[in-house]
Copies of this chain bind each other. A is one copy, B any other.
Amino acid sequence: MGELKLMKGNEALAEAAIRAGADGYFGYPITPQSEVIEYLMAEKPWERTGMVVLQAESEVASINMLYGGGGTGKKVMTSSSSPGISLMQEGISYLAGAEIPCVVVNVVRGGPGLGDIQPSQSDYFQSVKGGGHGDYRLPTLAPSSVQEMSDFVPVAFDLAFKYRTPVLIVSDGLIGQMMEKVELFDPIPRWTDEEIVEMHPWATNGKPKGGERRIMTSLYLDPHVLEEHNYKLQRKYAEITKNEVRYELLDAEDADYLFVAYGSSSRIAQKSVKLAREKGIKVGLLRIISLWPFASEIINEFTEKGIKGFLSVEMSAGQMVEDIKLAVNGRTKVEHFGRLGGVIHSPEEVLEALEQKLIGG
């Protein structure tokens, strides 16, 4: 068993980056995730593992530092919160286009605009659909505990390198600021330069002797070539969709209804399940772990099995609910319950929503 600690989500994430063998972190402070860079600067991983930590001049610089670093085959990461992530959208689109592995963490806060600094989930659409320009997708992991803030970092790096893609970790102010017990995984050594050169022949870290130069680019001036490139990306996304769907089921076997939730909301909903079961309502929880690829298949299965309805529990005006509806395709009821702008729902009101919108409705 690894080391047991009581840590904030943001701190666990930072420690996990060091332990995951990250080579570099580049970021710009923003609440509620500044603890990530603060922890790293205090921990001095350049002494522990050789990891580079740099406070960039902005989020735009940070994301482009990931482009540079990831493009050389190193494990690089940044973190920010909603407005900062919006600033990164051009860079993220470039990373996707140039197929550069890296990990981007969004500790979501209330929006739009400057909004507030409270936990929110209103960047779902940005994470899994829109965001930057062009047809691309980002594998997106949503931790719902401090443990997962730690555990998902190496998973994210694995996905990033397996598929040569930027990977999102979408957390929020609640998960970032709370402390929980966390079992830290054993440190994974950083790849040596030689290992990187061997493992990632595509990476631009100095042309191999007698070999061909490598290029990181997202530019394909001929539309037919760009189309080919896009088809390649789409095939990759299909592959990811096939392999990388992650979710968790709680009290679902006998359920008449399912809450569908992720991150903080899933913690609240878990309590609501308890409250509901105490009242004799058979509800379970489908906790979405990978926001993309989305757990459409399991939703389909429950639909086929005749579930009476799904309640999407989100701290948003209704975003993930669209993906649930697309999976259900009209075969059963899908409703949404959300609180906005950084307000966290209470377990009681989630249950009430279930009763009103699905059971009563």
Name A's B-contacting residues (CB within 8 A). 60, 82-87, 89-90, 93-98, 108, 110-118, 120, 122-123, 125-136, 217-231, 233-234, 316-317, 319, 322, 325-326, 328-331, 339-343
Q: Which single member of B110, B322, B325, B330 contacts A134 (CB below 8 Å)?
A: B110
In the complex, what residues of B have CB within 8 A of residue A231's CB? 340
A110 and B225 CA atoms in complex are apart in Å by 11
A227 and B343 form a contact (CB under 8 A): yes
25 A-B residue pairs with Cβ-Cβ distance under 8 Å, sorted by A, are A82-B93, A82-B133, A83-B93, A89-B126, A111-B132, A112-B133, A112-B134, A113-B219, A115-B219, A115-B220, A116-B219, A116-B221, A123-B134, A125-B130, A126-B133, A129-B129, A129-B319, A135-B319, A220-B341, A223-B342, A224-B343, A226-B341, A227-B339, A227-B342, A227-B343
Q: Which single member of B85, B132, B222, B322 contacts A133 (CB below 8 Å)?
A: B85
In the complex, what residues of B have CB within 8 A of residue A340's CB? 135, 226-227, 230-231, 234
Q: How many whole Å from A273's CB to the nearest CB in chain B?
A: 24
In the complex, the count of this chain's copies comes to: 2
In the complex, what residues of B have CB within 8 A of residue A343's CB? 223-224, 226-227
Q: Which residue of B lies closest to A95 (CB)?
A: B113
A129 and B125 form a contact (CB under 8 A): yes
Q: Which single member of B86, B90, B227, B325 contacts A132 (CB below 8 Å)?
A: B86
Q: How many whole Å from A60's CB to the nearest CB in chain B?
A: 8
In the complex, what residues of B have CB within 8 A of residue A224's CB? 341, 343
A93 and B110 form a contact (CB under 8 A): no
In the complex, what residues of B have CB within 8 A of residue A83's CB? 90, 93-94, 133
B97 and A93 form a contact (CB under 8 A): no
Knowing A133-B82, A227-B340 touch, does A113 contact B94 (C-beta < 8 A)?
yes
Q: Which residue of B lies closest to A321 (CB)?
A: B326
Q: Which residue of B lies closest to A114 (CB)?
A: B219
Knowing A224-B343, A227-B340, A227-B343 touch, does A97 contact B111 (C-beta < 8 A)?
yes
B87 and A115 form a contact (CB under 8 A): no
Knowing A86-B89, A234-B317 touch, does A113 contact B135 (C-beta < 8 A)?
no
B135 and A131 form a contact (CB under 8 A): no
Q: How many whole Å from A39's CB to the nearest CB in chain B?
A: 24
In the complex, what residues of B have CB within 8 A of residue A218's CB? 111-115
Q: Which single member of B95, B131, B227 contacts A131 (CB below 8 Å)?
A: B131
In the complex, what residues of B have CB within 8 A of residue A97's CB? 111-115
Knowing A226-B342, A343-B223 touch, does A93 contact B116 (C-beta < 8 A)?
no
